[in-house]
Amino acid sequence: MRMPNVTPTRRSLWGVAGLFLTLWTPPPIRAQADAAPAHAPEPAAESVPAADGAAARVAADDSRAKAGWRWALLPAIFSTPETGVGGGAGLLLTHRSGEQSAATPPQALPVFGLYTEKGQTSIAFAPELHLHGGDWTVELEASYVDFPSRFYGVGRDAPREAEESYTLEATAAEPVVLRRILSHLRVGLAAELQAFRIRETEPFGLLESGAVLGHDRGRLAGIGPVLRWDSRENRFYPARGSWLQLSARAYRDWLGGDYVYESYAADLRTYRSVAGRHIIAFQILAIDRPGRVPFGQLARLGRSLRGVFEERYVDHAALMGQIEYRFPIWRRFSGVCFAGAGDVAPRPHAWRLDRMRPTAGAGLRFAINPAERMNVRFDFAVGDEETQIYFQFLEAF
Protein backbone atom coordinates (compact mmCIF):
# COMPACT_ATOMS: atom_id res chain seq x y z
CA MET A 1 0.00 0.00 0.00
CA ARG A 2 1.40 3.38 -0.95
CA MET A 3 2.05 6.21 1.44
CA PRO A 4 0.63 9.43 -0.01
CA ASN A 5 1.51 12.89 1.27
CA VAL A 6 -1.27 15.30 0.48
CA THR A 7 -2.65 16.42 3.83
CA PRO A 8 -1.11 16.53 7.30
CA THR A 9 -3.12 13.58 8.59
CA ARG A 10 -1.92 10.98 6.13
CA ARG A 11 1.04 9.69 8.17
CA SER A 12 -1.28 8.56 10.99
CA LEU A 13 -4.15 7.68 8.69
CA TRP A 14 -2.09 5.31 6.56
CA GLY A 15 -0.41 3.73 9.55
CA VAL A 16 -3.87 2.64 10.66
CA ALA A 17 -4.70 1.49 7.13
CA GLY A 18 -1.60 -0.67 7.19
CA LEU A 19 -2.80 -2.26 10.42
CA PHE A 20 -6.15 -3.16 8.83
CA LEU A 21 -4.52 -4.75 5.79
CA THR A 22 -1.91 -6.62 7.81
CA LEU A 23 -4.16 -8.18 10.41
CA TRP A 24 -6.28 -9.79 7.71
CA THR A 25 -4.69 -12.98 6.41
CA PRO A 26 -6.40 -15.87 4.57
CA PRO A 27 -6.61 -19.02 6.73
CA PRO A 28 -4.42 -21.22 4.46
CA ILE A 29 -1.63 -18.65 4.68
CA ARG A 30 -1.95 -18.01 8.40
CA ALA A 31 -1.76 -21.70 9.27
CA GLN A 32 1.72 -21.99 7.80
CA ALA A 33 2.95 -18.50 8.56
CA ASP A 34 2.14 -18.35 12.27
CA ALA A 35 4.93 -20.81 13.00
CA ALA A 36 7.56 -18.35 11.76
CA PRO A 37 9.48 -16.44 14.45
CA ALA A 38 9.03 -12.68 14.71
CA HIS A 39 11.04 -10.83 12.06
CA ALA A 40 12.57 -14.02 10.70
CA PRO A 41 13.76 -13.52 7.10
CA GLU A 42 11.37 -15.01 4.58
CA PRO A 43 12.51 -17.43 1.88
CA ALA A 44 12.87 -15.87 -1.54
CA ALA A 45 10.05 -16.47 -4.02
CA GLU A 46 11.69 -16.33 -7.41
CA SER A 47 8.55 -16.75 -9.48
CA VAL A 48 6.49 -13.94 -7.94
CA PRO A 49 7.17 -10.31 -6.91
CA ALA A 50 8.58 -10.21 -3.37
CA ALA A 51 6.35 -7.27 -2.38
CA ASP A 52 3.16 -9.27 -2.96
CA GLY A 53 3.08 -10.17 0.76
CA ALA A 54 2.40 -13.34 2.67
CA ALA A 55 0.80 -15.18 -0.25
CA ALA A 56 4.15 -15.40 -2.01
CA ARG A 57 5.49 -17.67 0.74
CA VAL A 58 3.02 -20.43 0.04
CA ALA A 59 2.34 -19.99 -3.67
CA ALA A 60 4.26 -23.15 -4.49
CA ASP A 61 2.13 -25.27 -2.15
CA ASP A 62 -1.21 -23.50 -2.49
CA SER A 63 -1.57 -22.14 -6.02
CA ARG A 64 -5.18 -21.15 -5.38
CA ALA A 65 -6.17 -19.19 -2.28
CA LYS A 66 -9.63 -19.46 -0.78
CA ALA A 67 -12.12 -17.64 -3.03
CA GLY A 68 -14.87 -15.28 -1.96
CA TRP A 69 -15.39 -12.21 0.20
CA ARG A 70 -13.95 -11.71 3.67
CA TRP A 71 -14.28 -8.81 6.07
CA ALA A 72 -12.71 -7.52 9.28
CA LEU A 73 -13.74 -4.73 11.66
CA LEU A 74 -10.75 -3.40 13.62
CA PRO A 75 -10.08 -0.61 16.13
CA ALA A 76 -6.84 1.35 16.35
CA ILE A 77 -5.02 3.83 18.61
CA PHE A 78 -1.99 6.04 17.90
CA SER A 79 -0.16 9.17 19.03
CA THR A 80 2.00 11.72 17.18
CA PRO A 81 3.17 15.24 18.03
CA GLU A 82 0.79 16.66 15.40
CA THR A 83 -2.30 14.80 16.58
CA GLY A 84 -1.82 13.86 20.20
CA VAL A 85 -3.60 10.63 21.11
CA GLY A 86 -6.04 9.46 18.46
CA GLY A 87 -8.20 6.50 17.74
CA GLY A 88 -10.46 5.09 15.11
CA ALA A 89 -11.93 2.05 13.47
CA GLY A 90 -11.96 0.57 10.00
CA LEU A 91 -13.84 -1.93 7.91
CA LEU A 92 -11.78 -4.01 5.49
CA LEU A 93 -13.39 -6.04 2.70
CA THR A 94 -11.22 -8.37 0.64
CA HIS A 95 -12.06 -10.61 -2.29
CA ARG A 96 -10.44 -13.40 -4.28
CA SER A 97 -11.84 -15.00 -7.39
CA GLY A 98 -11.70 -18.75 -7.90
CA GLU A 99 -9.06 -18.35 -10.60
CA GLN A 100 -6.86 -15.93 -8.66
CA SER A 101 -3.42 -17.22 -7.73
CA ALA A 102 -2.30 -17.09 -4.11
CA ALA A 103 0.74 -15.16 -5.37
CA THR A 104 -1.54 -12.23 -6.25
CA PRO A 105 -2.71 -10.04 -3.34
CA PRO A 106 -6.47 -9.98 -2.77
CA GLN A 107 -8.63 -7.08 -3.88
CA ALA A 108 -8.76 -4.81 -0.81
CA LEU A 109 -11.51 -2.30 -0.02
CA PRO A 110 -10.73 -0.55 3.29
CA VAL A 111 -12.73 2.33 4.75
CA PHE A 112 -11.75 3.87 8.05
CA GLY A 113 -12.16 6.93 10.27
CA LEU A 114 -9.94 8.59 12.87
CA TYR A 115 -10.44 11.22 15.56
CA THR A 116 -7.78 12.81 17.77
CA GLU A 117 -7.64 14.64 21.07
CA LYS A 118 -6.91 17.86 19.13
CA GLY A 119 -10.25 17.62 17.35
CA GLN A 120 -8.88 16.32 14.05
CA THR A 121 -11.09 14.11 11.90
CA SER A 122 -10.10 11.85 8.97
CA ILE A 123 -12.32 9.60 6.88
CA ALA A 124 -10.91 7.63 3.95
CA PHE A 125 -11.78 4.98 1.41
CA ALA A 126 -8.68 3.38 -0.12
CA PRO A 127 -9.28 0.44 -2.48
CA GLU A 128 -6.31 -1.45 -3.91
CA LEU A 129 -7.05 -3.75 -6.86
CA HIS A 130 -4.71 -6.25 -8.54
CA LEU A 131 -5.93 -7.26 -11.98
CA HIS A 132 -4.87 -9.72 -14.69
CA GLY A 133 -2.74 -11.83 -12.37
CA GLY A 134 -1.21 -8.80 -10.71
CA ASP A 135 0.07 -7.23 -13.94
CA TRP A 136 -2.15 -4.20 -13.33
CA THR A 137 -2.54 -2.37 -10.02
CA VAL A 138 -5.25 0.23 -9.44
CA GLU A 139 -5.15 2.31 -6.26
CA LEU A 140 -7.48 5.05 -5.09
CA GLU A 141 -7.46 7.18 -2.01
CA ALA A 142 -10.60 9.23 -1.43
CA SER A 143 -10.55 11.17 1.82
CA TYR A 144 -12.07 13.93 3.88
CA VAL A 145 -10.12 15.70 6.64
CA ASP A 146 -10.94 18.40 9.15
CA PHE A 147 -7.58 19.15 10.71
CA PRO A 148 -6.59 21.94 13.15
CA SER A 149 -2.88 22.61 12.68
CA ARG A 150 -0.13 25.22 12.93
CA PHE A 151 1.72 27.51 10.53
CA TYR A 152 5.15 29.06 11.18
CA GLY A 153 5.90 30.72 7.86
CA VAL A 154 7.90 29.53 4.87
CA GLY A 155 11.61 28.70 4.80
CA ARG A 156 14.34 27.20 6.96
CA ASP A 157 14.56 30.36 9.08
CA ALA A 158 10.86 30.70 9.93
CA PRO A 159 10.87 31.70 13.62
CA ARG A 160 9.18 29.50 16.17
CA GLU A 161 7.57 32.62 17.66
CA ALA A 162 5.62 33.13 14.41
CA GLU A 163 3.43 30.09 15.17
CA GLU A 164 -0.26 30.57 14.40
CA SER A 165 -3.14 28.15 14.30
CA TYR A 166 -5.59 27.34 11.52
CA THR A 167 -7.91 24.55 10.44
CA LEU A 168 -7.67 22.72 7.12
CA GLU A 169 -10.81 21.18 5.66
CA ALA A 170 -10.19 19.17 2.49
CA THR A 171 -11.77 16.57 0.25
CA ALA A 172 -9.33 14.73 -2.03
CA ALA A 173 -9.07 11.85 -4.48
CA GLU A 174 -5.81 10.30 -5.70
CA PRO A 175 -6.10 7.54 -8.30
CA VAL A 176 -3.00 5.58 -9.39
CA VAL A 177 -2.80 3.04 -12.24
CA LEU A 178 0.37 0.94 -12.54
CA ARG A 179 1.48 -1.67 -15.08
CA ARG A 180 4.08 -4.29 -14.19
CA ILE A 181 6.92 -4.11 -16.72
CA LEU A 182 9.50 -6.29 -14.96
CA SER A 183 9.37 -8.52 -11.90
CA HIS A 184 9.94 -5.59 -9.52
CA LEU A 185 9.19 -2.61 -11.79
CA ARG A 186 5.86 -0.86 -12.35
CA VAL A 187 5.10 2.31 -14.28
CA GLY A 188 1.90 4.26 -14.70
CA LEU A 189 -0.01 7.47 -14.06
CA ALA A 190 -1.11 9.21 -10.88
CA ALA A 191 -3.55 12.08 -10.48
CA GLU A 192 -4.89 14.28 -7.72
CA LEU A 193 -8.08 16.25 -7.30
CA GLN A 194 -8.56 18.24 -4.12
CA ALA A 195 -10.83 20.98 -2.83
CA PHE A 196 -9.67 22.70 0.35
CA ARG A 197 -10.72 25.47 2.69
CA ILE A 198 -8.66 27.24 5.37
CA ARG A 199 -10.68 28.49 8.32
CA GLU A 200 -10.30 29.51 11.97
CA THR A 201 -7.14 31.50 11.29
CA GLU A 202 -5.68 33.74 13.98
CA PRO A 203 -6.58 37.45 13.93
CA PHE A 204 -3.80 39.64 12.52
CA GLY A 205 -1.77 36.59 11.51
CA LEU A 206 -0.11 35.93 8.15
CA LEU A 207 -2.93 33.68 6.97
CA GLU A 208 -5.61 36.13 8.05
CA SER A 209 -3.81 38.96 6.21
CA GLY A 210 -3.94 37.11 2.88
CA ALA A 211 -0.18 37.39 2.38
CA VAL A 212 0.25 33.61 2.00
CA LEU A 213 -0.77 31.78 -1.18
CA GLY A 214 -3.60 29.36 -0.44
CA HIS A 215 -4.74 31.23 2.67
CA ASP A 216 -8.47 30.84 2.03
CA ARG A 217 -9.78 28.12 -0.32
CA GLY A 218 -9.06 26.56 -3.68
CA ARG A 219 -8.94 23.51 -5.94
CA LEU A 220 -5.98 21.35 -7.01
CA ALA A 221 -5.89 19.25 -10.16
CA GLY A 222 -2.76 17.44 -11.32
CA ILE A 223 -1.60 14.41 -13.27
CA GLY A 224 1.72 12.81 -14.17
CA PRO A 225 3.84 9.68 -14.49
CA VAL A 226 5.06 7.48 -11.67
CA LEU A 227 7.74 4.77 -11.61
CA ARG A 228 7.93 2.30 -8.74
CA TRP A 229 10.62 -0.33 -8.06
CA ASP A 230 9.99 -2.74 -5.19
CA SER A 231 12.37 -5.64 -4.52
CA ARG A 232 11.64 -5.94 -0.77
CA GLU A 233 10.92 -9.45 0.45
CA ASN A 234 8.41 -8.06 2.98
CA ARG A 235 6.38 -4.90 2.64
CA PHE A 236 6.11 -4.11 6.38
CA TYR A 237 9.49 -5.02 7.91
CA PRO A 238 11.94 -5.71 5.07
CA ALA A 239 15.27 -7.39 5.79
CA ARG A 240 16.61 -6.94 2.26
CA GLY A 241 15.76 -5.23 -0.99
CA SER A 242 14.91 -1.70 -2.06
CA TRP A 243 11.90 0.51 -2.70
CA LEU A 244 12.17 3.42 -5.12
CA GLN A 245 9.48 5.77 -6.38
CA LEU A 246 9.98 8.56 -8.89
CA SER A 247 7.05 10.83 -9.67
CA ALA A 248 6.30 13.99 -11.59
CA ARG A 249 2.97 15.76 -11.59
CA ALA A 250 1.72 18.89 -13.35
CA TYR A 251 -1.04 20.94 -11.73
CA ARG A 252 -2.90 23.07 -14.25
CA ASP A 253 -5.90 25.39 -14.39
CA TRP A 254 -7.17 23.70 -17.56
CA LEU A 255 -7.52 20.52 -15.48
CA GLY A 256 -9.86 22.39 -13.15
CA GLY A 257 -7.41 23.66 -10.54
CA ASP A 258 -6.73 27.14 -9.22
CA TYR A 259 -2.95 26.74 -8.94
CA VAL A 260 -0.31 26.14 -11.61
CA TYR A 261 2.81 24.33 -10.46
CA GLU A 262 4.79 21.08 -10.76
CA SER A 263 5.68 18.45 -8.21
CA TYR A 264 8.75 16.20 -8.51
CA ALA A 265 9.73 13.59 -5.94
CA ALA A 266 12.37 10.87 -5.58
CA ASP A 267 12.09 8.48 -2.63
CA LEU A 268 14.69 5.72 -2.19
CA ARG A 269 14.65 3.20 0.64
CA THR A 270 17.06 0.30 0.94
CA TYR A 271 17.38 -2.50 3.49
CA ARG A 272 20.30 -4.80 4.33
CA SER A 273 20.53 -7.69 6.78
CA VAL A 274 23.99 -7.42 8.35
CA ALA A 275 23.85 -10.33 10.83
CA GLY A 276 20.85 -12.55 11.37
CA ARG A 277 17.93 -10.32 12.32
CA HIS A 278 20.09 -7.18 12.56
CA ILE A 279 19.08 -4.79 9.77
CA ILE A 280 20.34 -1.46 8.44
CA ALA A 281 17.66 0.66 6.74
CA PHE A 282 18.34 3.86 4.83
CA GLN A 283 16.11 6.47 3.17
CA ILE A 284 16.76 9.56 1.10
CA LEU A 285 13.90 11.78 -0.06
CA ALA A 286 14.04 14.79 -2.37
CA ILE A 287 11.04 16.97 -3.31
CA ASP A 288 10.81 19.98 -5.60
CA ARG A 289 7.59 21.94 -6.22
CA PRO A 290 8.20 24.98 -8.39
CA GLY A 291 5.42 27.39 -9.33
CA ARG A 292 2.45 28.91 -7.51
CA VAL A 293 2.10 26.37 -4.73
CA PRO A 294 -0.46 26.90 -1.93
CA PHE A 295 1.22 26.74 1.46
CA GLY A 296 -0.59 23.53 2.37
CA GLN A 297 1.15 21.72 -0.51
CA LEU A 298 4.70 22.93 0.17
CA ALA A 299 7.31 20.28 0.98
CA ARG A 300 7.46 19.50 4.71
CA LEU A 301 10.62 18.39 6.45
CA GLY A 302 8.74 16.80 9.33
CA ARG A 303 6.54 14.62 7.15
CA SER A 304 9.26 11.96 7.04
CA LEU A 305 11.84 13.09 9.60
CA ARG A 306 11.05 12.12 13.18
CA GLY A 307 11.96 14.75 15.75
CA VAL A 308 10.61 17.64 13.65
CA PHE A 309 7.02 18.86 13.95
CA GLU A 310 5.43 18.25 10.55
CA GLU A 311 4.49 21.88 9.82
CA ARG A 312 7.62 23.44 11.35
CA TYR A 313 9.81 23.80 8.22
CA VAL A 314 8.12 24.11 4.82
CA ASP A 315 9.28 25.41 1.43
CA HIS A 316 9.17 24.61 -2.28
CA ALA A 317 12.01 22.06 -2.01
CA ALA A 318 13.03 19.62 0.71
CA LEU A 319 15.90 17.15 1.08
CA MET A 320 16.22 14.66 3.90
CA GLY A 321 17.98 11.43 4.73
CA GLN A 322 17.82 9.00 7.62
CA ILE A 323 19.43 5.75 8.70
CA GLU A 324 18.06 3.20 11.14
CA TYR A 325 19.58 0.18 12.87
CA ARG A 326 16.99 -2.50 13.70
CA PHE A 327 17.84 -5.30 16.13
CA PRO A 328 16.06 -8.10 18.04
CA ILE A 329 15.60 -7.92 21.80
CA TRP A 330 13.46 -10.83 23.06
CA ARG A 331 10.70 -12.85 21.46
CA ARG A 332 8.30 -10.36 19.83
CA PHE A 333 10.23 -7.32 21.07
CA SER A 334 12.84 -5.52 18.96
CA GLY A 335 14.50 -2.12 19.00
CA VAL A 336 15.82 0.60 16.72
CA CYS A 337 18.30 3.45 16.82
CA PHE A 338 18.04 6.15 14.15
CA ALA A 339 19.51 9.45 13.01
CA GLY A 340 18.64 11.82 10.20
CA ALA A 341 18.94 15.35 8.85
CA GLY A 342 17.18 17.56 6.34
CA ASP A 343 16.79 21.03 4.88
CA VAL A 344 14.18 23.10 3.04
CA ALA A 345 14.82 25.82 0.47
CA PRO A 346 13.10 27.75 -2.35
CA ARG A 347 14.82 25.53 -4.96
CA PRO A 348 17.05 22.44 -4.83
CA HIS A 349 20.24 24.36 -5.66
CA ALA A 350 19.75 26.33 -2.43
CA TRP A 351 19.97 23.28 -0.15
CA ARG A 352 22.90 23.63 2.26
CA LEU A 353 24.61 20.84 4.14
CA ASP A 354 25.65 23.24 6.92
CA ARG A 355 21.99 24.18 7.49
CA MET A 356 20.67 20.62 7.79
CA ARG A 357 18.39 20.07 10.79
CA PRO A 358 19.70 16.99 12.66
CA THR A 359 17.55 14.48 14.51
CA ALA A 360 18.26 11.26 16.42
CA GLY A 361 16.42 8.81 18.59
CA ALA A 362 15.59 5.27 19.60
CA GLY A 363 12.51 3.13 19.69
CA LEU A 364 10.88 -0.10 20.80
CA ARG A 365 8.91 -2.49 18.57
CA PHE A 366 6.36 -5.18 19.37
CA ALA A 367 5.26 -7.61 16.66
CA ILE A 368 1.46 -7.82 16.76
CA ASN A 369 1.54 -10.07 13.68
CA PRO A 370 4.84 -11.99 13.64
CA ALA A 371 3.99 -13.88 10.44
CA GLU A 372 3.65 -10.63 8.50
CA ARG A 373 6.37 -8.90 10.56
CA MET A 374 4.00 -6.06 11.39
CA ASN A 375 4.91 -3.97 14.44
CA VAL A 376 3.53 -1.44 16.82
CA ARG A 377 6.28 1.13 17.32
CA PHE A 378 7.15 3.55 20.10
CA ASP A 379 9.79 6.13 19.09
CA PHE A 380 11.53 8.86 21.08
CA ALA A 381 13.17 11.45 18.81
CA VAL A 382 15.27 14.53 19.57
CA GLY A 383 15.36 17.41 17.10
CA ASP A 384 17.11 20.75 17.13
CA GLU A 385 14.25 22.41 19.03
CA GLU A 386 12.39 19.76 21.03
CA THR A 387 11.80 16.08 21.67
CA GLN A 388 8.94 14.15 20.09
CA ILE A 389 7.18 10.88 20.97
CA TYR A 390 5.45 8.62 18.44
CA PHE A 391 3.21 5.62 18.96
CA GLN A 392 2.08 4.18 15.64
CA PHE A 393 1.61 1.12 13.47
CA LEU A 394 4.15 0.26 10.76
CA GLU A 395 7.76 1.37 10.46
CA ALA A 396 8.71 4.98 9.79
CA PHE A 397 10.01 3.89 6.35
Which residue ranges make up each domain of the chain? 10-393
In this predicted structure, which of 29-33, 121-125, 349-353 has the lowest mean pLDDT?
A: 29-33
Q: Is the Cα dihedral 267, 328, 333, 82 positive or negative? A: negative
CB 229 within 8 A of CB 268: no
- The reported pLDDT for the residue numbered 73 is 84
The closest of 148, 166, 169 to 208, measured between CA atoms, is 166
What is the arithmetic mean of pLDDT over 79-86? 93
Q: What is the dihedral of CA 182, 186, 188, 194, to 10 degrees?
A: 180
Cα separation, 84 vs 252, in Å, equals: 36
Q: Is the pLDDT of residue 255 over 80?
A: yes
What is the arithmetic mean of pLDDT over 78-85? 93
Residue 43 vs residue 391, higher pLDDT? 391
- The reported pLDDT for the residue numbered 124 is 95
Cα separation, 12 vs 392, in Å, equals: 7
C-alpha distances (whole Å) from 220 to each of 249, 254, 263 are: 12, 11, 12
What is the arithmetic mean of pLDDT over 60-66? 48
CB 382 within 8 A of CB 360: yes
* Burial of 157 per CB tally in 10 Å (0-12, 13-18, 19+): exposed
What is the arithmetic mean of pLDDT over 353-365? 96
Strand bridging mode 217-230 / 164-180: unpaired
- The reported pLDDT for the residue numbered 53 is 41
What is the arithmetic mean of pLDDT over 364-369? 94
Cα separation, 33 vs 198, in Å, equals: 47
Residue 12 vs residue 170, higher pLDDT? 170
CB 41 within 8 A of CB 88: no
What is the arithmetic mean of pLDDT over 73-78? 86
Q: Can you name the CATH fold of 10-393?
A: Porin (2.40.160)
- The reported pLDDT for the residue numbered 65 is 53
Segment holding 208, helix H or strand E: helix 206-209
Residue 237 vs residue 40, higher pLDDT? 237
- The reported pLDDT for the residue numbered 106 is 80
Confidence class of residue 28 from pLDDT cuts 50, 70 and 90?
very low
Confidence class of residue 34 from pLDDT cuts 50, 70 and 90?
very low
- The reported pLDDT for the residue numbered 100 is 61
What Rg, from alpha-carbon coordinates, does the chain have?
A: 21
In this predicted structure, which of 17-21, 120-124, 379-383 has the lowest mean pLDDT?
A: 17-21
Half-sphere exposure of 10 (CA within 13 A, CB side): 23
- The reported pLDDT for the residue numbered 330 is 95
C-alpha distances (whole Å) from 330 to each of 169, 334, 351, 372 are: 44, 7, 42, 18
pLDDT in tens, 292-313: 999 999 999 999 999 999 999 9
In this predicted structure, which of 37-51, 106-120, 224-238, 302-316 has the lowest mean pLDDT?
A: 37-51
Q: Is the pLDDT of residue 16 over 80?
A: no
Cα separation, 4 vs 21, in Å, equals: 16
- The reported pLDDT for the residue numbered 133 is 83
- The reported pLDDT for the residue numbered 15 is 52
Cα separation, 217 vs 97, in Å, equals: 44
Q: Is the pLDDT of residue 58 over 50?
A: no
Confidence class of residue 372 from pLDDT cuts 50, 70 and 90?
confident
- The reported pLDDT for the residue numbered 31 is 32
Query: Quick one: what percent of the chain has pLDDT higher than 70?
Result: 82
Q: Is the pLDDT of residue 8 over 80?
A: no
Confidence class of residue 10 from pLDDT cuts 50, 70 and 90?
very low
Cα separation, 311 vs 344, in Å, equals: 12
Cα separation, 246 vs 228, in Å, equals: 7
- The reported pLDDT for the residue numbered 221 is 98
- The reported pLDDT for the residue numbered 92 is 86
Confidence class of residue 196 from pLDDT cuts 50, 70 and 90?
very high
Segment holding 20, helix H or strand E: helix 10-23
* Burial of 106 per CB tally in 10 Å (0-12, 13-18, 19+): buried
CB 82 within 8 A of CB 309: yes
Which parts of the chain are beta strand (E)?
Answer: 68-80, 84-96, 107-116, 121-125, 128-131, 136-151, 164-180, 185-199, 217-230, 241-251, 261-275, 278-288, 299-300, 314-315, 317-330, 333-345, 357-369, 374-382, 387-393
Residue 33 vs residue 236, higher pLDDT? 236
Confidence class of residue 101 from pLDDT cuts 50, 70 and 90?
low
Cα separation, 6 vs 168, in Å, equals: 12
Confidence class of residue 276 from pLDDT cuts 50, 70 and 90?
confident
Long-range CB contact pairs, 295-299, < 8 A, 24+: 295/151, 295/154, 295/212, 295/213, 295/214, 295/215, 296/7, 296/168, 296/170, 296/196, 296/198, 296/214, 297/6, 297/214, 297/220, 297/259, 297/261, 297/263, 298/154, 299/344
Q: Is the pLDDT of residue 23 over 60?
A: no
Q: Is the pLDDT of residue 7 over 90?
A: no
